[in-house]
């Protein structure tokens, strides 16, 4: 089965910057596979709690390029965030999953409007870029923040 790279993931990949890309909740690791073709990032970290999802990408990278992809079986909340650099992507499809994942980064938010209002308290000097991608009849939100030093 060949997985389709969605418009949303293509836009996220295009917007991402830095030397490394961290895909939290990577599922099928489509961003890592895209990077094998595009070679924008020197390394992609695929982080997911699901062993079965990670086994799929592990089988592919053994053949393709094990030095450009690192697979980490872990809840993203448990990462040592001081070791993370580059772009962090949390690209789940469910708003409830976004909220749960953002809980450990910021605070729990119940809506996009509340998120946009509250984020300024945590990153007051950061300029947020907001993008929308239409996909499967739905509008998907993408928020981009520059890395903090």
CA distance 39 to 56: 20
CA distance 106 to 137: 29
| Burial (CB count <10 Å: 0-12, 13-18, 19+), residue 47 | buried
Structure-token pair, residue 33: 């596979």
Question: According to the model, what pLDDT value does residue 124 have?
Answer: 59
The answer to whether 89 and 11 have CB atoms below 8 angstroms apart is: no
Question: According to the model, what pLDDT value does residue 66 have?
Answer: 73
* pTM, two decimal places: 0.66
CA distance 58 to 128: 34
Domains plus CATH for the chain?
A: 7-144 (3.40.50.150)
Question: According to the model, what pLDDT value does residue 107 have?
Answer: 46
Could you tell me the mean pLDDT of each successive run of 10 residues in the chain, 149 residues long?
Answer: 73 90 86 90 91 82 76 83 82 57 50 68 67 76 66
Question: According to the model, what pLDDT value does residue 123 have?
Answer: 64
């Amino acid at each position: 089965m060949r997985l389709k790279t969605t418009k949303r993931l293509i836009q996220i990949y295009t917007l991402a910057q830095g030397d490394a890309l961290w895909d939290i909740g990577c599922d099928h690791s489509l961003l890592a596979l895209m990077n094998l073709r595009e070679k924008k990032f020197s390394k992609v970290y695929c982080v997911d709690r699901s062993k079965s999802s990670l086994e799929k990408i592990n089988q592919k990278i053994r053949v393709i390029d094990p030095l450009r992809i690192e697979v980490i079986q872990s809840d993203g909340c448990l990462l040592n965030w001081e070791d993370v650099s580059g772009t962090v992507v949390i690209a789940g499809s469910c708003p409830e999953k976004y909220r749960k994942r953002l809980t450990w980064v910021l605070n729990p938010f119940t809506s996009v409007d509340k998120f946009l209002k509250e984020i300024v308290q945590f990153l007051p000097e950061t300029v947020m870029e907001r993008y929308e991608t239409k996909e499967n009849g739905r509008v998907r939100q993408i928020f981009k923040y520059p890395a903090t030093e």
